[in-house]
């Protein structure tokens, strides 16, 4: 079978990997590797220096030794399109195609390295359990990473059957919609089937990654979309809605209604990684208001003519939203500063200036008291 760049769109759509997202663009990008006799495939699972790759010849196990650079953002990951040896024992992944999108978070290491969770994702499904009180700040954090990745976010409120009151459920949906401008919010119940068909239709046209904390119902939701119990499910604790890490690796699964799903382990920490644009997208109403501020570099703290503070004052902008916006921007700036020497220097100068201003104000206050 030929994988040359001359392949037509009809050939790409009938390709054995079309169900995993193979298209004409991937076919063209792979042409140089096809000439080298390599086999295209999509990475469905990675663990311990090896990965499972689905190819036209079936599922193969391949070693990743040739694609294990020092940069943790360049390691092979679930969702990558790989160029694999056609035979051999062991087989090797020789390279992977440039990623269209990448979902990245910061690690908990002191070096603040980025960790790539999934590649070539079209939809980021953020699973939020209605079994516990909504954490809007956490939703905003997930949304920032999702927007930054290049994927389209979608918030799924799982376990909707636990909120039988229709009006109460509508209020919860509205709260999340206010937190997620431009994002579809869909209540779903895997127990009753509510919303599952709608979700399946939304994700049928591409690759989706399923994100959320432990106990959010991701594995149950994955099973509902798959139409069978593929993922193990464990009960959550009644006291806080938390669960164990049912999923321990990232797995890429073909959906019966079309599209593919990457299920991820529950994320205890969701650190930002150079996600300023994503934060701006989540808080787009604040960014819009900032255009009306008197000063172009307004910090929205105490400046005169600040449209953002005026919106908080008149109640059109919740103060919680502004606090969350500031918090995520500060966190993102710290992360970037750890890998950007120039920005580190700017932050140090800013700290020194503010410290000098604070000391001067303190001395002036002492002088007036005397």
Helix (H) or strand (E) holding 71: none
Nearest to 146 by CA among 90, 212, 230: 212
Looking at 99-113, 244-258, 354-368, which range is the least confident one? 354-368
Is the pLDDT reported for residue 8 higher than 60?
no
**Whole-number pLDDT of residue 3:** 44
**Whole-number pLDDT of residue 266:** 55
Share of the chain above pLDDT 90, in %: 57
C-alpha–C-alpha distance, residues 272 and 337, integer Å: 12
Is the pLDDT reported for residue 261 higher than 70?
yes
Longest dimension (CA), the chain: 90
| Per-residue pLDDT reduced to its tens digit, 134-188 | 999 999 999 998 998 899 999 999 999 999 999 999 999 999 999 999 999 999 9
Is the pLDDT reported for residue 124 higher than 70?
yes
Read off the pTM: 0.80
Is the pLDDT reported for residue 119 higher than 70?
yes
Yes or no: say if 62 and 72 are a contact pair by the CB < 8 Å rule.
Answer: no
**Whole-number pLDDT of residue 240:** 44
């Amino acid at each position: 079978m030929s994988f040359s760049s001359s392949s037509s769109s009809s050939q790409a759509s009938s390709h054995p990997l079309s169900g995993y997202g193979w298209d004409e663009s991937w076919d063209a990008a792979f042409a140089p590797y096809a000439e080298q006799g390599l086999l295209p495939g999509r990475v469905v699972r990675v663990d311990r220096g090896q990965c499972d790759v689905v190819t036209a010849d079936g599922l193969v196990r391949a070693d990743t030794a040739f694609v294990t650079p020092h940069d943790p953002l360049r390691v092979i990951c679930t969702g990558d399109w790989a160029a694999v040896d056609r035979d051999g024992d062991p087989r090797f992944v020789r390279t992977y195609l440039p990623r269209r999108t990448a979902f990245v978070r910061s690690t908990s290491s002191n070096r603040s390295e980025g960790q790539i969770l999934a590649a070539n994702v079209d939809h980021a499904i953020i699973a939020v359990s209605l079994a516990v009180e909504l954490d809007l700040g956490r939703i905003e954090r997930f949304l920032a990473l999702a927007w930054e990745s290049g994927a389209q976010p979608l918030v799924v409120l799982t376990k909707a059957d636990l909120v039988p009151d229709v009006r109460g459920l509508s209020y919860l949906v509205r709260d999340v919609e206010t937190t997620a401008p431009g994002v579809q919010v869909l209540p779903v119940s895997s127990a009753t089937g509510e919303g599952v068909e709608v979700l399946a239709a939304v994700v049928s046209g591409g690759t989706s990654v399923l994100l959320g904390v432990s106990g959010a119902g991701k594995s149950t939701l994955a099973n509902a979309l798959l139409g069978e119990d593929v993922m193990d499910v464990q009960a959550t604790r009644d006291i806080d809605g938390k669960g164990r890490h049912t999923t321990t690796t990232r797995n890429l699964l073909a959906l019966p209604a079309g599209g593919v799903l990457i299920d991820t382990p529950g994320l205890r920490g969701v650190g930002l990684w150079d996600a300023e644009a994503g934060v701006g997208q989540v808080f787009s109403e604040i960014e819009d208001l900032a255009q009306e501020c008197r000063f172009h570099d307004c910090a929205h703290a105490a400046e005169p003519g600040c449209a953002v503070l005026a919106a908080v004052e008149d109640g059109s902008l919740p103060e919680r939203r502004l606090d969350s916006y500031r918090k995520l921007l500060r966190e993102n700036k710290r992360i970037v500063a750890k890998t950007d020497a120039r920005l580190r220097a700017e932050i140090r100068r800013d700290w020194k200036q503010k410290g000098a201003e604070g000391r001067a104000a303190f001395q002036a206050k002492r002088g007036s008291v005397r």
